[in-house]
Every structure is written in structure tokens, then in C-alpha cells.
Chains A and B, each alone.
Chain A
Amino acid sequence: MLKIESVTYDITNGSGDVSILKNIDLDLEDNKFYALTGPNGGGKTSLARIIMGIYKNTKGKLYLDGVDITNFSITERAKAGISYAFQNPPRFKGLKISDLLKISVGNEKDALYARLKAVGLCPQDYFDRECDNSLSGGEIKRIELATVLSRPSKIIIYDEPEAGVDLWSFEKLLALIKKYHSHGGVTSIVITHHEKVLSLADEIILMAEGEIKERGPRESMWKILQGDFKCRWQKNCGGYEDELDCYRQ
């Protein structure tokens, strides 16, 4: 179980001090599929990066299976079983795709081939290819997924798997995420704006303005999100509480 306790995340930028996350409390149960959704700038990616240790929270604690991981580095969290699929995975000039996969899979060629096949990439074409800008958005996302799904994880965070990929690729990636989750033993947290991902979730968590505004089982959250869901996304204006009241009516 992942327990997030009174986590805040403040940064200083040109406008002065900005509070990105405000006193977040969240318990995430083992083996559940969570969708983390909400408008852009609401704090979803910041929260995910704090869980992975990429960002350091200003206040609060994080516990994984009762162990305080607040001061764990990224590497220590990875070794503790947290994985993170980047929204925009970095590219590596000169590094072969197989070199990247070896970190998760090891050196056995058959196993590496199998991982490439699993994400729909022909091993003969991709094994020795450079993991650089010559890859399309869809290709790099598949490789990202292959690296993440190849390592032992208790929790996997997927940051907008739909971003930058065509519909066909997205459906394939989503099927893979779903299949991996269905094997059990992993908690999935997917940051998403996509209804297809939301429809897979056991629970939906709605974030806005650095806070968790609502959370609950998919069916009940669906009604809230259905109300003026798309309209709210398009408006991109403040006063989120008022809008939520509107949904609740």
C-alpha cells in the first residue's frame, strides 16, 4: 500500500512562491487500477513525480508498505518496486534500444526479443536501432513501456500514455497496460484525459488546483465527470469548486 500523508510541493519561479501541491492525503491500495485525471496544471504529474522521487516534496511523508520512503532517492524507490513511464520519454543519442532494455531485462537475447515483440516492435528492426530522434512518438512510447513492464514492480505510474501516439498505437498500448495489470500483483496509476483509460479504472481521482477534489469508484465518479467534463476542459478557467458543485447537482 502507498500512503501519501500531508504532502505539499512548493516551487519558486518568476511569480514568486507557487504551491503546486497542497496538503495531499491519499491511500492507494495494492492491486488496484487508479486513474488520475483533471485539468492541465492541476498537479497530477507533480504528484506522480513526487511518488517516484523525481521531485522532492516540501512537506509531508510517503510510505510504501509501511516503510517511510520520503527520503529515498529515485534509484532506491525503483528498487523498492516503484516504476514510472514518462509522458515524453527521453531519447539517447548513440544508445541502442537493446542497451536500454538490457537494464531491465538482462542480456539474454530471446528475452529482449520477446519484450520488443510484446510492445508490437519487430525485434529484427529495432534491436540495434538507436534510441534517438529518428524514432516516432509512438515508437518511443512503446520502448518506454517495454522498459517499465520488464522490471519487477509493485506500483507502476503511467504518465499520459495517450500523449503523442496515434489512436491505433494507443489502443495497443492500453491493451498491454490492461493485460499487465490483470496478471495481478501490481498497482497501476494512470494519469490520463482519455475516457478509454478512465473506463478501466477501479477508482478515479480528480485533481485540480494542486488538490484532490474528488475520488471514488469509477461508476460514481463517472457521473461527476460526465456532467460538464469536456466543457470544463475546454474552458480552462478558475473557480473549480463552483464547477464541481454544478456537477454534483
Chain B
Amino acid sequence: MNLTATDSELLKTIADLHNIPSGAFNIRKDGQGVDRRSSAHIQVKPKTDKPGIDVIVAPGTKNEAVHIPVLITLSGVTDVVYNTIEIGEGADVTVVAGCGIHNPGSKKSQHDGIHEIIVHRGARMKYVEKHYGEGEGTGERVLNPKTILTMEKDSIVEMELTQIKGVDSTIRDTRAKLAEGASLTIVERLLTHGRQEAVSDMLIELEGKGSNAKVVSRSVTKDDSRPVMVAKAPARGHVECDSIIMDRGKISSSPAISAEHPDAQLTHEAAIGKIAEEQLMKLETLGLSEKEAEDVILRGFLQ
């Protein structure tokens, strides 16, 4: 695959890639799978019944990564993709997903990514997903990710879900079921500007004894964040939502916890506020303009 300058920029932004990755990968562009490679332990193959891929990580695979970025560089594209990711028993891998839209025209470009992830017994996965939009056109940039995560006994998952900037509309849907001893950490960061909107729904079900989950959601400007955690076993969970409101932004944050077992321990906290004046003034005393100070504070908050 020959990368255009736009492709390279998008790949760098969403997947920290400066070129085609050396290990297993799949690059999807404008609704088509354009390049793909499997490694000795990670198989990447296209689905036969619908658009998308299967990523199969062999049991015991250690310290490997698979990149599955999606690029949209045309205006008027609607891409729906179904990916299944299976992490074998005892494996320890990183999955780098993400989508970048460069919309040069006036029509809406949209990517709906439906990921079904199964993390088998004792496996560990780090999942990194960045979303980004840009382009000189007036067309909307829309990203709607749906993630369905099944965690088997004693598995560990860390998810970093980030909307960097430039996405006009997003509806995120994240669901997870945790078996005995499974441990899940989700850190979600959403940045919106002006009229952009983000909705994030999460449902985390702690089904197994000793399972635990922590959800940290940080958002800026216009967001509707609704994480729900349900404990059906002696399990622990914590949900934390922090938001910075700016300009004419509207933020609604409603974390909910529900215990269906007497030994479950669940906590939640939520806060919405604007950038503190003292924070801005402190950075201005170091020589930054108000705008620069604001950028530093937001970058830190979302990093």
C-alpha cells in the first residue's frame, strides 16, 4: 500500500504509526480493506459474510501488538464494519484501533465500527482507540463505535478510548461482561468544540466473584455521559466522570451503579465545572496567553 500524505498524517494521529507497522495489522480505507498482514501468532483475516475482519491471537502470545486503523479520506462515505477480536488464553497483547476522517467535501462521512472482543481466561489486553476528524470541507465527520467485550476468568483489560478532536458527532456504546476475577479499566477522554456533540453509553456487568472494574470518563464542552455499572456478584467497581464545560457547552453526566449482590461494593462520583480562574492566572503568570493556558489545561485534563 502506498500511503498518501493525508493517510500518513491520519495514521500518525490515531495510531502513532509513521509507516506500515512491522507486526500484524489491517488498514481499512474509505470502506475497503486495503492492506493486511498476519504474524506468527496473530491471524488477521477478512470476514466472509459482512465487512470487517477477524483478529485471532494465539494462546500464550506475549508482548505483541496488532494495529487495525480505519481511514476515511473521501466525502460522502458511510462505512460500517464488524470486527471480531479474540485474545487466546494467557496472551498479553496490545490492540491499537482508531479511526481518522479527513473530509474534503460537503457531504457527511461516517464510520460505524462494531467490535466484538473476547478475552479468554488469564489473558491480558491493552486496547487503544483514538478518534480524530479533520478536513477543509464542510461535511460532517461522524464516528459511532460500538464495543462488546466479554472477559473470561482472571482476564485483564485496559481500554483507552480517546476522541482527540474534529469529530462532529459521536454515539459511543461500550458494553462489558466480566467473569470471576476479571479486571477492567476504562479511561475515556472526549473533546468536543463548538456545535460538536458526543454521547457515551456504557454498561459494565460484573458477573463473576472477585471481578472489578474502574471507569474514568473525562470530557470537555458538549457531552452526554451515561456509564452504568451493575454488580451481580461479590465484585468491586468505581465510576468517575469529570467534565469541563466551556463557552455555550452543555454537559450531562449521569453515572449509575446498581448492586444485585449483598457483597458488591460500588462507588461513583461526578463533577462538572469550568476551568478555574486561578489555573488560568497561574499559567498566565508564566507568560502564556489565556488561549495557550486554556490549551495546556485541557491537554492535561484529557491526557
- Chain A residues with CB under 8 Å of chain B are 52, 54, 73-75, 78-79, 83-84, 86, 89-90, 92-96, 99, 103-104, 131, 147, 151
Q: Are A83 and B300 in contact (CB under 8 A)?
A: no
User: Chain B residue with minimal CB distance to A147?
Assistant: B286
Task: Note all chain B residues with C-beta closer than 8 A to A96.
Answer: 300, 303
With an 8 A cutoff between CB atoms, is B218 at the interface?
Answer: yes
Q: Are B281 and A74 in contact (CB under 8 A)?
A: yes
| Distance of A139 from chain B, by nearest CB (Å) | 16
Residue picked from A52, A73, A90, A131, most chain B C-beta under 10 Å: A90
If the complex has contacts A94-B303, A95-B300, A96-B300, are A75 and B242 also in contact, measured as CB distance less than 8 A? Answer: no
| Distance of B243 from chain A, by nearest CB (Å) | 11
Q: List 13 A-B contacts (CB under 8 A).
A: A52-B285, A54-B285, A75-B290, A89-B282, A90-B276, A90-B279, A92-B279, A93-B242, A94-B218, A94-B302, A96-B303, A103-B287, A131-B300
Q: How large is the interface on B (under 10, 10 to 19, 20 to 34, 35 or more residues)?
A: 20 to 34
Q: Are A83 and B285 in contact (CB under 8 A)?
A: yes
Dominant secondary structure of chain B at its interface with chain A: helix
In the assembled complex, the Cα of A94 lies from the Cα of B286 at a distance in Å of 19
| Distance of B147 from chain A, by nearest CB (Å) | 23
| Distance of B149 from chain A, by nearest CB (Å) | 25
If the complex has contacts A54-B281, A74-B281, A86-B278, are A93 and B286 also in contact, measured as CB distance less than 8 A? Answer: no
Q: Give the residue of A73, A90, A151 whose beta carbon is less than 8 angstroms from that of B282.
A: A90
Task: Note all chain A residues with C-beta closer than 8 A to B300.
Answer: 92-96, 99, 131
With an 8 A cutoff between CB atoms, is B106 at the interface?
Answer: no
| Distance of A140 from chain B, by nearest CB (Å) | 11
User: Chain A residue with minimal CB distance to B189?
Assistant: A94
In the assembled complex, the Cα of A73 lies from the Cα of B284 at a distance in Å of 9
User: Chain B residue with minimal CB distance to A101?
Assistant: B286
| Distance of B39 from chain A, by nearest CB (Å) | 31
With an 8 A cutoff between CB atoms, is B267 at the interface?
Answer: no
